[in-house]
């Protein structure tokens, strides 16, 4: 399924975004699953250090800003970081409407109707285990923004009936593809949930629209094209499908050591 992260205010696209159209027996398609990252301006604080790796502050280490401020995307020139206020110290399970709603080391990105705080990272070790990966690039629409590190994908489990790692109300854990440094990665990540269940048609404009599917369901096709239907996400040998088969992708989708498919 396709995912784009837009940074409002600088009209930037955070790259982890990618088309996650898995080829083979099942194609996952996101249609209009477009995520708009909400970044708005706020009062800046002067840097209180001048020995940071980047100036005037460093996003990766949070060096250079007062303790009640965070180093985040510099909206003035979309080059590196700048200090911004923290109105609310939001983390991965918190929604947000501006940068100031997220804590130090987090950025507010998400959809046009709902956004959440994402953690900046330098390696997978900074992200939740076993599924979190440091592979979502923040870009200006074509290339990563200089001086801005990537952010973590979620450690949520797309097959679990318990939604952990995402904002609770109106969200779900889905399967996506992120492109980082020219390589595609299968990731689990949070998105706004629809209401579709097993068999619900999720075709929009001739493509699949995963936003129509609810928690634990993925918009897929078994024909390589329309029709697209919501199907229950399953793990190989996991028993989520009842009397149905857990149909795996022709190119295996493995996240955190677990192979995922859909019930059919």
Q: What would the pLDDT profile of 80-112 be if each residue is shown by its tens digit?
A: 899 999 999 999 999 998 889 999 999 988 766
CB atoms within 10 A of CB 103: 15
pLDDT in tens, 209-242: 999 999 999 999 988 777 899 999 999 999 999 9
Q: What is the mean pLDDT of residues 160-171?
A: 92
CA distance 120 to 12: 16
CA distance 51 to 57: 9
Q: What are phi and psi of 16, to 5 degrees?
A: -50, 10
Give CA angle at 216 (211, 219), nearest 5°: 40
Q: Please say if the pLDDT value at position 46 is more than 60.
A: no
CA distance 115 to 109: 5
Contact 17, 35 (CB under 8 A): yes
Region of poorest pLDDT, from 23-37, 120-134, 239-253: 23-37
pTM: 0.81
Paired sense of beta strands 258-263 and 229-235, if any: antiparallel
Looking at the 3D structure of the chain, how many domains does it have?
1
Rg (CA), the chain: 19
Write out the residue range of the structural domain in which residue 202 sits.
3-263
Q: What is the pLDDT of residue 39?
A: 39
Among 256, 259, 251, which residue's Cα sits nearest to residue 26? 251
Q: Please say if the pLDDT value at position 168 is more than 50.
A: yes
Q: What is the mean pLDDT of residues 189-209?
A: 92
């Amino acid at each position: 399924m396709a995912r784009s992260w837009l940074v409002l205010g600088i009209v930037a696209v955070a790259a982890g975004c990618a088309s996650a159209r898995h080829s083979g027996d099942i194609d996952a398609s996101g249609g209009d699953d477009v995520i708009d990252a909400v970044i708005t301006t706020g009062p800046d604080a002067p840097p209180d250090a001048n020995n940071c790796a980047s100036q005037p502050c460093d996003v990766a280490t949070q060096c250079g800003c007062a303790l009640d401020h965070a180093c985040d995307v510099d909206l003035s020139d979309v080059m590196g970081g700048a200090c911004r206020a923290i109105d609310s110290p939001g983390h991965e399970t918190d929604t947000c409407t501006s940068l100031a709603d997220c804590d130090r080391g987090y950025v507010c990105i998400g959809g046009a109707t709902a956004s959440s705080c994402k953690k900046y990272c330098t390696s997978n070790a900074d992200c939740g285990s076993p599924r979190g990966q440091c592979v979502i690039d923040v870009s200006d629409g074509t290339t990563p923004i200089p001086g801005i590190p990537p952010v973590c994908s979620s450690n949520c489990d797309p097959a679990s009936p318990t939604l952990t790692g995402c904002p609770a109300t109106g969200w779900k854990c889905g399967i996506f593809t992120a492109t980082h440094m020219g390589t595609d990665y299968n990731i689990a990540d949070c998105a706004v949930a629809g209401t579709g269940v097993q068999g619900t048609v999720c075709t929009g404009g001739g493509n699949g629209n995963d936003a129509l599917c609810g928690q634990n369901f993925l918009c897929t096709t078994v024909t390589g094209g329309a029709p697209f239907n919501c199907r229950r996400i399953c793990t190989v040998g996991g028993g989520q499908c009842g009397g149905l088969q857990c149909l795996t992708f022709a190119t295996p989708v493995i996240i955190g050591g677990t192979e995922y498919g859909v019930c059919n």
